[in-house]
Amino acid sequence: MSKRDFYEVLGVPKNAPEDELKKAYRKLAMKFHPDRNQGDAAKGAEEKFKEIKEAYEILSDPQKRAAYDQYGHAGVDPNMRGGMGGGEGFGGFAEAFGDIFGDMFGGAGGARGGRGGRQVYRGNDLSYAMEVTLEEAAHGKDAQIRIPSWDECDTCHGSGAKPGTQPKTCGTCQGSGVVQMRQGFFAVQQACPHCRGTGKIIPEPCTSCHGQGKIKQQKTLEVKIPAGIDDGMRIRSTGNGEPGSNGGPPGDLYIEIRVKKHEIFERDGDDLHCEVPVSFVTAALGGEIEVPTLAGKAAIDIPEGTQAGKQFRLRGKGIKGVRSSYPGDLYCHIIVETPVKLTEYQRKLLKDFDDSLKKGGGKHSPSTETWTDKIKNLFS
pLDDT in tens, 92-116: 444 444 444 434 333 344 555 544 4
Cα(149)–Cα(156) distance, integer angstroms? 18
Residue 322 lies in a domain: yes
List the CATH number of the domain containing 82: 1.10.287.110
Q: Is 318 found in the same domain as 214?
A: no
247 and 200 in a common domain:
yes
In-domain check, residue 295: yes
373 and 330 inside one domain: yes
Buried b (16+ CB within 10 A) or exposed e, 179-199: beeeeeeebbbbbbeebbbbb
Does 221 lie in the same domain as 136?
Answer: yes
φ, ψ of residue 298 to 5 degrees: the values are -140, 155
For residue 146, pLDDT beyond 80: yes
Same domain, 277 and 342: yes
Does residue 275 belong to any structural domain of this protein? yes
Q: Examine the pLDDT at 330 and tell me if it is beyond 50.
A: yes
How is the beta sheet containing 253-259 ordered, strand by strand? 126-132, 253-259, 234-237
Instruction: Please tell me whether residues 299 and 345 are part of one structural domain.
Output: yes
Q: Is residue 110 part of a domain?
A: no
- Encode pLDDT of 272-289 as tens digits: 999 999 998 999 899 999
> Using alpha carbons only, what angle is made at residue 127 by residues 217 and 226, rounded to the nearest 5 degrees?
105
As a whole number, mean pLDDT of residues 19-42 equals: 80
Per-residue HEC secondary structure of 218-267 comes to: EEEEEEEECCCCCCCCEEEECCCCCCCECCCCCCCEEEEEEECCCCCCEE
- Distance between CA atoms of 305 and 370, rounded to whole angstroms? 16
Q: Are 134 and 166 contained in the same domain?
A: yes
Within a domain: 101:
no
Query: pLDDT band at residue 268, thresholds of 50, 70 and 90?
Result: very high
Instruction: Kindly tell me the burial class for residue 171, based on how many C-beta atoms sit within 10 Å of its own C-beta (0-12, 13-18, 19 or more).
Output: exposed
Query: Is 112 within a domain?
Result: no
Q: What CATH number does residue 163 fall under?
A: 2.10.230.10
Q: How far is residue 135's CA from residue 65's CA, in Å, rounded to a whole number?
A: 59
Yes or no: say if 333 and 275 are a contact pair by the CB < 8 Å rule. yes
State which amino acid sits at residue 373. D
Confidence of residue 198 (pLDDT cuts 50, 70, 90): confident
Same domain as 274, residue 244: no
Q: Would strands 234-237 and 296-302 be described as parallel, antiparallel, or unpaired? A: unpaired
Does residue 249 lie in a domain region? yes
Exposed / middle / buried, residue 63 (Cβ in 10 Å: 0-12, 13-18, 19+): exposed
Q: Are residues 134 and 198 in the same domain?
A: yes
pLDDT recorded at residue 216: 86
- The kind and range of the H/E element at 98 are helix 91-105
Confidence band of 366 (pLDDT split at 50, 70, 90) = low
Domain tally, the chain: 3
CB of 67 within 8 A of CB of 75? yes
pLDDT in tens, 32-44: 877 777 777 777 8
Q: Would you tell me the crossing angle of helices 42-59 and 62-71 to the nearest 10 degrees?
A: 100
Quote the domain boundaries for residue 243: 121-259
